[in-house]
A and B are shown apart, each in its own frame.
Chain A
Amino acid sequence: MKWLTIAGITLCVIFMALFEWPKMDRHQKKEKAAFVTIVAMGWLLVILLLFFPEMPGPTQMIDKLFKPLGKMLEK
């Protein structure tokens, strides 16, 4: 099942690339690099989350940062 999800996500990524790639011309090297980096980041994050769904996320980080203030509102 997990491998099927990975295949689906990869298909999604390929569709995204097919949609955007022809629209960038040859001089836009920086755009292409940014595109590839962001897509790779997203793809890796999906796979990580698929295998470790309990991975602490950004919300936990923010939660730790603002906990002392948040205590005032707990009821």
Chain B
Amino acid sequence: MIEKGKISSFQMALLIVPTIIATAVLVVPAITGKFAGRDLWISPILASLNGFFTTFIAYRLHKYFPKETVIQYSGHIIGRLPGKAIGLVYLFFFLHVCGIICREYADFVIGSFLPKTPMTIVIGSLVLVCAFAIHGGVEVLGRAAQLLVPLFMLPPLLFFLLLQDFKIENIFPIMEHGIMPSLLGAVVPQAWFSEIFLISMLLPFLTDHEKGGKSSMAAVIFSMFILVFTNIVNIFLFGGTVSAYTYPVFTAFRYIGLASFFEHLESFVIAFWVLGIFIKIAVFYYAFVLGTAQWLRLSDYRPLTLPLGFLVTIFSIWVSPNEQEMSKFLGTIIPFYIPTFMTFIPMLLLLIAIIRKKFKKKSFTT
């Protein structure tokens, strides 16, 4: 096996939680708010159904091929050449999505905190840090997650400082127009929940295989709670006008002010949030690097880390000319684009694997 490190299932869950919510808290409430209005908080619950479904698929596939990642077992399931083609498509997908995430990060940081810094520097520095983490292997990633994710979870607690500004009546009437608006609003977050399929790149390196499915489910539930919580806070604060802000969650943090002394907490919040986006980019980037090495059947993936990081940086600048097109892309294309690769293709792979296993038991060896 290329990767010699091992992580525990708890570390894997810690890696996956920021992978779902780091950018979901950033851009999703505004897009969901456009459809769901006051029922914003129901949407993550509905969206998490896709998360559970995808976890189930990834875990079943992992049961069939316990020592392999999606790049490797696609070859076993549908034959060598089509498997290579699917692998290439996945690599392109990882590269593109990695670029999109870096771009979201850069747009946000430049827009709100570093207006004069060139985008190349903002993205390049983060990608470089991720490259060093990945150079250390999956074990370093797991430890980094153990260290950083608890800090990343601190900012939601700060919302309790806003208690006097909450207007509970904003949330009523619940489901004024039936379930349809919140269902439409769930279309966008379900793309983020389908990103849990990245566990298929991490599951082969677990020390405790049998707990892998359970801890991924726990990760989905936990992410759902965080999203529901931030969305409820947003409704209490802004009511139906959540979609008027580009980054509603961070606007909410700006409202915090205690005795006109404890103010401008958003600078703390962004420092903690960068930890989360670091884990998110590192996980996608790791999947990309490891996948490339497995696709080319190399003996080591470390030499490819920096060149592929270079590609990721270029793609992040190439993906979109400006912020408006980016947010349109996130709102209309991403809800179909990511689940196609993270839920739909794995589902087909699983179906084919099940059918092949049923019909010719002898030749189907893992």
A interface, CB within 8 angstroms of B: 12-13, 16, 19-20, 23-24, 28, 30-32, 34-35, 38-39, 41-42, 45-46, 49, 54-55, 57-59, 62-63, 66-67, 69-71, 73-75
Contact = CB atoms under 8 A, between A and B. Distances in A.
Contacts, number: 96
Interface residues of B, number: 38
Contacts of B143: none
A50 B115 CA distance: 22
A12 B319 contact: no
Nearest to A45: B314
A12 to B, nearest CB: 7
A70 B96 contact: no
Interface stretch (B5-13, B263-271, B332-340): B332-340
B96 A66 contact: no
A75 B34 contact: yes
Contacts of A46: 314
Contacts of A28: 298-300, 303
Given A31-B303, A34-B298, A42-B311, A70 B332 contact: yes
B306 A19 contact: yes
Nearest to A69: B336
B318 A23 contact: no
Nearest to A57: B318
A5 B306 CA distance: 19
A17 B297 CA distance: 21
A28 B297 CA distance: 12
B307 A63 contact: no
B333 A62 contact: yes
A63 B96 CA distance: 13
A73 B190 CA distance: 14
12 contacts: A23-B303, A28-B298, A28-B303, A31-B299, A57-B318, A58-B99, A59-B100, A59-B319, A62-B333, A62-B337, A73-B188, A74-B332
Which of A23, A38, A55: most chain B CB closer than 10 A? A38
A23 B319 contact: no
A71 B335 CA distance: 12
Interface in B277-320: 292, 296-300, 302-304, 306-308, 310-311, 314-315, 317-320
Contacts of A41: 311
Contact of B307 (A42, A66, A67): A42
A42 B329 contact: no
Contacts of A54: 321
Nearest to A68: B336
B41 interface: no
Given A58-B96, A58-B318, A70-B333, 17 more contacts: A19-B306, A20-B303, A24-B300, A28-B299, A34-B292, A34-B296, A34-B298, A38-B308, A41-B311, A42-B307, A49-B317, A55-B318, A57-B318, A59-B318, A59-B319, A62-B96, A66-B333
Interface in B68-115: 92, 96, 99-100
A16 to B, nearest CB: 5
A45 B187 CA distance: 34
Contacts of B276: none
Nearest to A58: B96
- List 9 A-B pairs, minimum CB-CB distance, nearest first: A70-B332, A38-B307, A42-B310, A57-B318, A69-B336, A16-B306, A39-B307, A73-B332, A59-B319
